Structure formats: structure tokens, C-alpha cells
Amino acid sequence: MKKLLTAFLGASLLFGAVAANATPEQDRQQLLEYYKHKFPNLKFDDYVHGALNFNPDALSQYFSIMEFPPYDSQFDKGRKMWETPFKNGKKYADCFPDGGKNLAGHYPYFDEKLSKVVTYEMAINSCRKANGEDEFEYKDMKTMGLLTAYSRSLSDGMKMSIKVNGPKATEAYEKGKAFFYQRRGQLNFACATCHVQQVGNIIRTEYLSPALGHAAHWPEFRAGEKVTTLQTRYSQCIKNVRAKPFNQGSEEYNDLEYFHSYISNGLPMQTPVFRK
């Protein structure tokens, strides 16, 4: 038995596999160990920089770009949206504790009453609805994208702190985990194939980022001003393996985001960030 266990731990260190019956915390620790083993010099907090960690030139370029971000005018649009009162005179800030500061790191969470995972975007829409406004479309980057690019920045530096408590929450988490490890598409790749097993390798022209840190820096502005949310990125990666993407805001993506965010627990959030 001991031998078997050691063999399994050895294999999981090599392949980053997680045990089917592990607790979320065991999953997280196991992935952490896997990446630490692979990248012994990479500091925990630096995982928020994703693939940039593998390319020192790109990382230093990134830091200089972030001093005068090219997306400032877009970011300001998001700020204006956040600060403009609804027709009833109330504001987004009135919907959330402490005006929405240090909040985003608690999302997604499992809502027992609704019996489902609630993402940050869903909370924004609930706020709009409660104030008599139409909901935003999840994938509309001009509304949801820009607004959350600003409002999530109110949680900059907050440590990711996703909770998975109770059987139903665990079930949703497990579904997200299964999604992450499931192979799909013509290329028959799982998220884990690229972001765990092949992490740090180059595919086409890009280094593959670790899944640890993935969820801590959204939205991103790509190529200057193009805002991209985490679930938009899910769809891009799924299309890249020639599989059919799910709808943004679907239960599949929300459960994936729940698992995917949990494994970044403890990392300081940063929003928005620039990516090429």
C-alpha cells in the first residue's frame, strides 16, 4: 500500500495529476508542489504573471508597459460606468460591502440557496436587476468587460480566497475539475495537457502558462485596448483544440471557473493587466 501511494505521488509530481477523491485543498497543494518542483526559482506571488515568467525580456517589457498602460482610456470608460448612478439614483457601490473593494477574490462562490456557482459577473447583473436595469450580456466586452476591468481593480492586491464548503459546493467544484482534466476537440487536449503537463514549453510561438495564477488577473487588455475576460479566454483555448466552446456564463464554465479560481487561492489579485 505504501509503495503504491509513493508511486502515485511520484507520478502525480511528474504529471500534475490530481487524485479523484482528494479534497480541494489537497488538489491545490498537489498542483503547487508540481509547479514548485518544475520551477524551483519561481516565487509564489509571481504566478500572477503567467507565461511572462518564462521570458525575462517579455516580463521586463510588461513592467514598463504597465507604467503607462495603453488601455487607460478604456479603463476610464469602465470607471465612468461604475460611478454613473442608475436611473433610481443608486450606484453599483451600494450593492456591495465596502463599496465593492476587496471583494472579487471571494468570487466565484457557491450559493446554497440558488444551488449554483455565482460568478462576479452574475453579482454585477444581480445588482443591475435589483436596481431596475437590464442585465449585461456576459460576453459583451463593451459593457461587462470594461465595467469589470475597472471594478475588479478595486480588489487589487486582495488574496484570492475561494471557499468550497459542503457537499453541493464540492460537487460543483468536482465538475469544474473534471472539465479541466477532460480531453476534448480534434486535438484531444485537456486544459491540463497544456497548462499542467506541458507548462513552460512553447506551442507555436507561445510559452504555456501554469494554471496556478490563471484566475487572478482578469480582465486583461490584449494588444493595447482589447478587453478580454477569463471566460472569453476559456472559449479561445477550447477553439484552439478545435472543440466547440460553451456559452459564457454557462454552468460548465462557471464550475470550471470555480475550480480554476480555487487553485489560485492565496495569490494577490491584479486587474487589469496587459498581454500581447
The residue nearest ligand HEC at its CB is 191
Residues in the chain: 276
CB 42 within 8 A of CB 207: no
Burial zone of 274 (CB within 10 Å; 0-12 exposed, 13-18 middle, 19+ buried): middle
In which region does residue 16 sit, left (phi positive, over 0), alpha (psi from -120 to 50) or beta (all else)?
left
CB of 66 to ligand HEC, least distance (A): 14
Closer residue to ligand HEC (CB): 23 or 236: 236
Rg (CA), the chain: 19
127 is catalytic: no
CB of 2 to ligand HEC, least distance (A): 34
Tracing cell 472569453 back to the chain, one arrives at 232
Q: Is the bond into 85 cis (omega within 30 degrees of 0)?
A: no
Closer residue to ligand HEC (CB): 95 or 243: 243
CB of 52 to ligand HEC, least distance (A): 8
C-alpha cell of 101? 473593494
CB of 243 to ligand HEC, least distance (A): 9
> How far out from the chain centre does Cα 35 lie?
17
Closer residue to ligand HEC (CB): 32 or 93: 32
- Write out the residues near ligand HEC by the rule CB under 6 A: 50-51, 189, 191, 193-195, 203, 206, 208-209, 214, 220, 230, 233-234, 237-238, 240-241, 260, 275
In which region does residue 223 sit, left (phi positive, over 0), alpha (psi from -120 to 50) or beta (all else)?
left
CB of 130 to ligand HEC, least distance (A): 30
Q: Please identify which of the residues 95, 191, 194, 237 carries the catalytic annotation.
A: 237
Closer residue to ligand HEC (CB): 128 or 214: 214
Closer residue to ligand HEC (CB): 74 or 209: 209
- Apex CA 227: angle with CA 138 and CA 97, to 5°? 60
> How far out from the chain centre does Cα 107 lie?
10
The residues annotated as belonging to the active site are: 237
